[in-house]
Copies of this chain bind each other. A is one copy, B any other.
Amino acid sequence: MLKDFVKAELPVEEELKAKLKEERAHLFASQMKIKEAGLPVMVLFEGWNAAGKGAVIGKVIRNIDPRFFKVATMDRQPSDEEKRYPFLYRFIKEIPEAGKFRFFDTCWMEEVVDDVLDEKLTEEVYKKRVHSINVIERQLCDNGYLVIKFFFHISKKEQKKRLEALQASKYTSWRVDKDDLLQNKHYDKCLEVFERYLGDTNQSRAPWYIIDATDKKQAELQVLQFLNQGIDVALQNQKTNVPILQNTFPMEKVGKLSDIPLEGKHLSDEEYDAELDRLQKELKDLGNKVYRKKIPVIIAYEGWDAAGKGGNIKRITEALDPRDYVVEPIASPEPHEKARHYLWRFWTRLPKTGHITIFDRTWYGRVMVERLEGFCSENDWQRAYNEINEFEKELCDWGAVIIKFWVQIDKDTQLERFNDRQNTPEKQWKITDEDWRNREKWDLYEGAIDEMIAKTSTTFAPWYVLESVDKKYARIKALKIVIEKLKEALE
């Protein structure tokens, strides 16, 4: 893309001036349209050092009200803290919310190409990163984001000239560092690496725009033109559904909920106490090992209301060091969460390496409550099975252990427990009108859950059903599964 880059014929003088004025006014007018349409706009600036990315960002944002944009200036490399999260984490944290612009002064490209040039990435890891980037960019587009990618291109000679000019003044010489000089020295090698990355990530939904950055005004004009054009197309696409993708993940065959026998799954108090004690000791030991081996662990709980999730989770956490785990109770999303990709609030709640996060309800809300209550469109939840599989695959490739529990009871057991809650003053806070309303939709939920389990039981993150008519049985089963999975990961 860079090697065969043909410079566009650019306007000069008066024509340039007139066009800049026109495009600036266009962007100014677009900001309210974006606001009204709730379009999130993510603009990635990448390119050669000293190509003038920052200067153009500075020009572009002059046309936008400060309430509607933010500039995310990303460090070239993650901090030590950020290194304990998946590669994409520090970037995903920064994605814009609906109706706003976020300008990235370098994004995931810079880290990848830097690592390639520093010979820190094997071919395999490079390919995995490129794949992760392509998946997340596609997911963002599918979820209504406009993703615009600019690469600022200048020649070796031009770069050298600029670096020398910066060095010559005592006011700007600090802006030139060793990396800048190295990049200029090894320009051709960098060109190869950039060229490959641009080709590998040039997606039809999120294509690259190569900006001829030799002249700053011309660069600004090109950016404004592509940005304005991109916004118009994105606004036009806003209500368009997205085709559902074919599943390509290896799946485990799991039966329907109604086929799972619940009777006979019972433990006596003595059996339970003995097992609980033994297993919690074992888990405690494993928890320490996982911490020292820096393995991240994600335990996801879903289940019927009153199925016994809370008590089940408690038996796990009792065995763990409080410094090493966190329980994340998931309720309906806050406005700032609803304004972003629905997985954002889970991305930002991931454990760091060596830590355990237990989600009390999860991202699967998308294909259960959000589906059935109409909080998202049909296209949204139908797409979500694959998006969730992609999300979990990303975490699994990062090295995380993912354990997904469905806590299962029958309808009669739920009624008993609801009545008990209703009739016991100190339990009344646990039962709401919503619980009763949900109960009326039991059959609809059961259909959705069967579909969810069938479509997201991948071999790398399968569902485990905890039969919880006897809560003791379910707790012991959960402990055993967690222990087994941690042992596997520690091998």
A residues engaging B (CB < 8 A)?
Answer: 6, 8, 127, 138, 141, 148, 199, 204-205, 207-209, 226, 229-230, 233, 236-237, 240-248, 250, 379, 382
Residues of the B chain whose Cβ atoms lie less than 8 Å from the Cβ of A241: 240-241
A229-B242 in contact given A127-B199, A236-B382 (Cβ < 8 Å)? no
The 10 closest A-B pairs by CB, nearest first: A237-B243, A240-B241, A207-B248, A240-B243, A204-B245, A233-B244, A233-B246, A237-B244, A230-B246, A207-B246
Residues of the B chain whose Cβ atoms lie less than 8 Å from the Cβ of A248: 207-209
Name which residue of chain B comes closest to A243, CB basis. B237
Residues of the B chain whose Cβ atoms lie less than 8 Å from the Cβ of A205: 243, 245
Q: A199 to B241, alpha carbons, bound, how many Å?
A: 27
Most buried by B among A141, A148, A207, A233: A233
* A197 → chain B closest CB, angstroms: 14
Offer 21 A-B interface pairs, CB within 8 angstroms, sorted by A: A6-B250, A8-B250, A148-B246, A204-B245, A205-B245, A207-B245, A208-B248, A209-B248, A226-B246, A229-B246, A230-B246, A233-B244, A233-B245, A233-B247, A236-B244, A236-B382, A237-B243, A237-B244, A240-B244, A240-B379, A242-B243
Name which residue of chain B comes closest to A130, CB basis. B199
Name which residue of chain B comes closest to A134, CB basis. B204
Residues of the B chain whose Cβ atoms lie less than 8 Å from the Cβ of A148: 246
Residues of the B chain whose Cβ atoms lie less than 8 Å from the Cβ of A236: 244, 382
Q: Which of B208, B240, B250 is within 8 Å of A242, CB to CB?
A: B240
Residues of the B chain whose Cβ atoms lie less than 8 Å from the Cβ of A240: 241-244, 379
Name which residue of chain B comes closest to A247, CB basis. B229
Residues of the B chain whose Cβ atoms lie less than 8 Å from the Cβ of A237: 243-244
Judging by beta carbons under 8 Å apart, are A204 and B6 in contact? Answer: no
Name which residue of chain B comes closest to A379, CB basis. B240
* A254 → chain B closest CB, angstroms: 14
Residues of the B chain whose Cβ atoms lie less than 8 Å from the Cβ of A209: 248
Most buried by B among A208, A240, A246, A248: A246
Q: A237 to B246, alpha carbons, bound, how many Å?
A: 10
Q: A233 to B209, alpha carbons, bound, how many Å?
A: 33
Name which residue of chain B comes closest to A127, CB basis. B199
Name which residue of chain B comes closest to A135, CB basis. B204
* A188 → chain B closest CB, angstroms: 16
Q: A247 to B209, alpha carbons, bound, how many Å?
A: 10
Residues of the B chain whose Cβ atoms lie less than 8 Å from the Cβ of A250: 6, 8
Q: A246 to B229, alpha carbons, bound, how many Å?
A: 8
Q: A379 to B243, alpha carbons, bound, how many Å?
A: 13
Name which residue of chain B comes closest to A4, CB basis. B124
* A487 → chain B closest CB, angstroms: 21
Residues of the B chain whose Cβ atoms lie less than 8 Å from the Cβ of A127: 199
Known: A6-B250, A240-B241, A240-B243. 16 other contacts (CB 8 A): A138-B204, A141-B243, A148-B246, A207-B246, A208-B248, A209-B248, A229-B246, A229-B247, A233-B244, A233-B245, A233-B246, A233-B247, A236-B244, A236-B382, A237-B244, A240-B379
